[in-house]
Structure 1
Amino acid sequence: MNTKINYNRFGTIKAVIIGLIAFTFLLFPFISFSQVKASIDSTSIKIGQQITYKIEVETDTVNSVVFPVGQSFMPLEMIEAYKTDTTKQQDKYTLIKKYGLTQFDSGRYVIPKQKVIIAGKQYITDSLLVNVNNIVVDTTKQKLYDIKPMIAVQKPASDWWKYLLLGILILSLIGFIIYWFVWRKKPLTEEEQIALLPPYDRAKLALQKLDESNYLAYDKYKEYYSELTLAIRKYLDEKVYDRALESTTDELITRLEILSDGNQIELTKDHIKKIESVLKRADLVKFAKSAPDVELAKIDRTVIDQEIDYVKEALPEASEEEKLLDIEYKKQQEKKSFVKKYGLQ
């Protein structure tokens, strides 16, 4: 009877063991394999020297892994967290995470246990011991001295005057440039100087330049008579008839006769006839290609010179209003020369 009971108990125990084993195998496909290891590349460093702390995780490819972040290595200070290295072997991953750690005081320090989360489950690494040693100074080569007491240091003088001087120099340079290129009265060109002369002086100067041209020596009668008649036409245009430049010879002579008959200018018929003779001969040279004698051309130049003088004497004395107009004319000419010279609008 007792033997039978023992046999039944043994069978029961055996059944329980078999059941546990079967249950374990049934659960095995749902349990992931993970392994966490921590290590350091040196257990003894000098102050400020860096060590590399490494966490190595071996796990299934389907599991997510979260490594420590932030300053979780106190009392050691994390300098840098390096990028995670990953290698794959069949259906498993090996992940390696490295951290750069250091300490600036000597002593024995324990790197605390670190938490690694794998597939939502927390794993704890081992704590590690690190010795941080002082830097030994060779006093035979590097002498040591006592700490010197604090001494008063004279405050250096301000350099404000240098900046002031620099500012004055810059402003002076800018002012000089503005004066030189804008305000300075620059010497007038020959053309500008001629434009500022009175009409009579400009007419006389035009005849003088005509003598220096040597047109007659090269049989350039057209150019010669063009400048000769232009000299008296310009003078008449400014002092007698303001359309003298654009008028034909007949129109200009007719106008001079009307002014003479109306006693607006004391110019005799004989003087008007001389002017007409030269102007018509000039028209023949310019438009009909006539070629007068050189001596006749010289005589015509003398006639024009004399007639300019006669016209000047025949003009009535300028009134105060006309004198003011002459002054205004000079100002306008100066302004035109300035605008033309500097391209202003």
Structure 2
Amino acid sequence: MKKILFLLSFFICVNAFSQLLSSNLEKKTLALGEVNHLVIKIDNLKSNAVVTAPKNELLPFHFEEIKDSVSINANTYERKIEFSVYEEGTFKIPELEFKVGQKLLKTIPYEIEVINTATKEDQINDIMKNKEVDLEVTDYWQLYKWYLLAVIAFVCLVITVIMIVKYGRKSKDSPVVATNQTLKELDSLKKKKYIEDGNYRLFYVELIDISRKFITKQYRIPADVLLTDDLIVLMKENNTISQDNEKIVEDVFLRGDLVKFAKTFPDKDLMEKDFAEIRDFVKRSSKDIEFENLRKDV
């Protein structure tokens, strides 16, 4: 009998001096979006601090917390949570931990079933009738400005691509570009001083190579692969190059072939003359191209 009284006294003392945690869930079955309440209470705090999850972060992510209020005094801690669930199924509220002083307390777990109470026969009524609003130009602009800007940007892109394809390549292959490039090559040949040194063979080899490349690019005549006689015949038949320019090309190219096979030995004056005439031919070539374009247009 004494033992029973001793144990009873011990449990009374323990309960009297320890913290007591209780929790209460209002509903265990909910409709979609229905509000439910969970109340957690801790008694006999004895001014101990309560450490737990911060507001609106106590429940798992399936639970949409609407309101999370905490009231606390020296002896009591109470937390009231309003929440809803917007998915069908069964969801669990696990044990929730609360640390009071050095002691860890846990709530009991709960299981909540969420059901959809709507039926096919339910009639959905608008809260209020639709209201007609007159839109102004600025309103239409705000609605469709991004579509309009996208169309404008696309059109500009298409125009840019067409311009590049149509004119970009032509600018690189224009008569002026070809002329300037060849004049630079002729200047480089001049700086090698083949004329001053009497090196007529290298002079004519490089002069004719530069001229052949220029004719191929400027007049679209395959001068880089044709023999001199065939090139002269083709130039006369083609009529793209003016007669004065044809005469210069013919004389210089034929002389270059003779020099190459050591059948003639030009002096410095003749080399200077041939260089100057080829240079003038290159400069005048743009007029041949302009005349040819006019002839095609007619």
TM range (shorter): 0.3 to 0.5
| Structure having the higher Rg | 1
TM-score norm. by structure 2 comes to: 0.37
TM-score norm. by structure 1 comes to: 0.32
